[in-house]
Structure 1
Amino acid sequence: MRTWQDGAVDLIRLSDGGNSVRVRVVGRRAAGILPLHDLLDAELYVESSFISGRLAICFDPGDLQAWSQALDALATGHDIEWLDQGNDPVIKVEFSHDTQGDITVLVEDGSGSGAVAAIPIALDEGWIAEQRELLQEVLQAWPSEVLETSPGAYEWR
């Protein structure tokens, strides 16, 4: 498992050496407290020669499942949107139709700052498999431990 000194683990790491987008999970939002225990705090980093930014985000196990499904769609050449829930920033990955292996990652913070960043990234073959490995590391580090038994009712797994 790839961890850093502070215990954080990357969920998304897309970089070509010059431009990068990274989502780094830093831990549980409210460890030990039902129903918030499974919420994960993370930081979204966007870096290029032109801009650099960081945004705090939070997601739940359903968002991790949605990321897994997004990776399936990317593997078949489809563009994706992730975290599009109205209040969170939206991360879009779009394939370049001109150059094979190139993508553009769009980060839209509509409900917060209103900023939009479009980061072109030239990725090496195998990048989707690398993202799947990162997802598995996050799922191992912070497994889902809360079960919703009925609407609004929770218990430990």
Structure 2
Amino acid sequence: MGAMASNRFNSASGPSQRQLRVGELIRRTLSDVLMRGDLHDPELSRLSITVGEVRCSPDLKVATAFIMPLGGHGVDEALSGLRRHRKELRHLVSREMTLKYAPELRFEIDQTFDQMDETRRLFSDETVRRDIAAPEDDSPENEAPGDRD
């Protein structure tokens, strides 16, 4: 009863603990593999690629890695390089992990980096800075002691 019951409840509320755990493990392993330069690809080894997140399918057969090259430069090169070496990366990652099946690796650009840049741009925007810095005029602390009669 254990596994079935927990799956039934997890299906509607996003990824299961196991999906999250395996995804994080793949993320770290893939990051290590890319950092060490285990792939012999000069184009890829020039790029410092961040693996922001890895999402696994419910059956753990497919893992999608969301990546971004350092500074956001060479996005297309990074994607095509990683996709070209998909099978080799799958082998390198599975060799370091104790999963029954090595998941198929897919690669997408991590859009959250764009959102972070957009947020920084907004914060540096003059009017937004003024709004954030503006003192709260209507807060009770600013009242003089004799004002409340």
Please report the TM-score for the alignment, with normalisation by the length of structure 1: 0.27
Structure showing greater radius of gyration is 2
Higher helix residue share:
2
Normalized against structure 2, the TM-score is what? Answer: 0.28
Which has more strand, going by share of residues?
Answer: 1
